[in-house]
Amino acid sequence: QLALLTNGLVRVDRSGMQGVRQAGAFPGRAVGNPRFKASLEVWHSLLHNYMDGYASQTGKDRTEPEALWGLCKESELLIRQAQQLPAERALALMPYAPTLRELADDLVRLVGQINNRTDHELEGWEACGFTRAEFSLTGRDGWAPLDSLDPQAAALAKAMALGNPALLRTRRLSPQEAWELSLLNPANKLIRLSAAECVTLMGAHRKFKLSMRGGAFKIDSRSRHHEQLLYDACVTDARGNERILPAGGTYFGVLNPFNCNLFILDDRDRVLGESPLIHRFSHTDEAARLREFGRVQHLRAQQLAGAELLAAPDTAAMQTRRDYNKRIIDGEPFDPLGLSDAETLQAPSKRSARQRLTKYVPLPEPEGMGLPDSYDSTFFNP
C-alpha cells in the first residue's frame, strides 16, 4: 500500500522467511525464519549511551544494574504508601525513579541532543555536502557560518585565514541541520498523505460506528483507548476547509494512531475529513480555558453563519425600526419613509409558501408525445 500511495517512494521489505532482500543487504535464504534485522542498528546503543545516567537504567540485554532490584522494590512501596496519604501530601513525595511524564520530557530532550550533535562520523556526510565552513576571530569560540557573511566580510575572513588557518574550520552538520538542508531541495519535498490515503493505508475495516451527542463524538470503548476521547462534529477536508457535520447522519471513525485524531467516514465509506482530539484542561489553567472558549465560539459562529445569512433581511429591517424609534424617543427629526423601506425589505421574508407564485411549466403538445389530438367517446366507454 505504501508503495502504491507514494508512487514507489516508500517501500517495505519483509523478513527473510521467503528469502526477501534486507534493507541495504543481500537476499536472505528462505529457511522459514520470520525475524528481520536491519543492516544498521546503532540507534538503540546511541540512545542507551545518552541515558546511562538514569537511575532506573535497565542496562544491556539482561545485565541490569545490581541496584535496580532494590530501586523497584522501594518505588513500589512508595506508591502503596502514597495511596494512603491525602492528595496534597502524596503529591509532595519525591519518587526514586523518573515518572512517565518526566521520562517523556527527558526523551524529547535527549533525542534533540542526538539530532543536534556534530561530533559524529556518519558515513557519506562529505559526499552529500553536509559540511559547513565557519570563521572565528579568535579561533576558539564565536564561530559563524562563512556563507552567512556578506561578500566583503567573507573575502576579509578568507584573507585573515591565510595568515592564521586556525580562524577557519570546516565542520560536519548535525543530523538536524542536514535534514533541514535537504528539505530546501525541491526534489526532497515531503509528501503529505491525504485523509483518504491514510484510511486506505490503515484499512477501512478498522472503522467503527460513531454516535453524535451535543455536536460531538464520544468514544468510550476501552478496546480503543484507555480513557474517553472527545471530538467535535467538525472535520477538515483535503482542501483545508472546515465543515460542520449535520446531526442525524450515519458516521464511522478510524483512529489515527500517531496523534489520536479521528478520520470520519460516511455510510458509503467516503472520507469526510479529520477531526482533532479535544484535549481536556484543568479549570485552574486560565490560558487553556480561554483557548477552549475561543474554539467553542469559533464553531458556534460557523453554525450561525448560515442562519444569519437567511435572517439578514429581518435583521436589517429590525435595526431600521430601532433607529426609527430611537429618533422619535430622542425628539430628533425622523423620516416616515425609512420605516416603509424597512417593511418593504422585510416583506419577502414573511411571504408564506402559499403566497409564492408557482413556476408555470407548459405542457407538451400532443404530437410531441405521440398522442392523438382528440379521443372518441367509445375510447373511455367501451
Q: What is the pLDDT of residues 86-105, one digit of tens each?
A: 988 888 888 888 888 888 89
Positive/negative CA dihedral, 354, 355, 360, 366: positive
Residue 254: exposed, middle, or buried by beta-carbon count in 10 A (0-12, 13-18, 19+)? buried
The better pLDDT of the pair 296, 84 is held by 84
Angle separating helix axes 100-115 and 175-183, nearest 10 degrees:
70
- Residue 309's region, left for phi above 0, alpha for psi from -120 to 50, else beta, is alpha
Q: What pLDDT score was predicted for residue 50? A: 86
- What are the pLDDT digits (tens) for 252-286? 999 888 888 899 999 888 899 998 888 776 667 77
- What are the pLDDT digits (tens) for 346-373? 555 454 444 444 444 454 454 444 545 5
**Stretch 158-181: mean pLDDT:** 89
C-beta separation of 11 from 20 below 8 A: no
Q: What pLDDT score was predicted for residue 343? A: 56
Q: What pLDDT score was predicted for residue 40? A: 58
Q: Highest-confidence range of 8-17, 77-86, 199-208, by mean pLDDT?
A: 77-86
- Residue 377 CA: distances (Å) to CA of 33, 365, 373, 374: 91, 21, 13, 10
Residue 281: phi, psi to the nearest 5? -140, 160
**Stretch 121-138: mean pLDDT:** 88
Q: What pLDDT score was predicted for residue 176? A: 93
- What are the pLDDT digits (tens) for 211-237? 888 778 888 877 777 778 889 888 888
Q: Which of 260, 254, 264, 263 is nearest to 280 (CA)?
A: 260
pLDDT at 326 over 80: yes
Predicted TM-score (pTM) of this structure: 0.52
Of 51-55, 196-200, 309-313, 336-340, give the lowest mean pLDDT range.
336-340
Q: What pLDDT score was predicted for residue 112? A: 93
C-beta separation of 118 from 153 below 8 A: no
Q: Which residues of 119-156 are buried (b: 16+ CB within 10 A; e: fewer)?
A: eeeeeeeeeeebebbbbbeeeeeebeebeeeeeeebee
- What are the pLDDT digits (tens) for 31-70? 555 555 665 567 778 888 888 878 787 776 667 778 888 8
Report how far residue 91's alpha carbon sits from residue 59's, in angstroms, rounded to the nearest whole number: 29
- Residue 164 CA: distances (Å) to CA of 135, 145, 156, 169, 181: 11, 17, 12, 11, 30
Q: What pLDDT score was predicted for residue 10? A: 78
3-class DSSP state of 179? helix
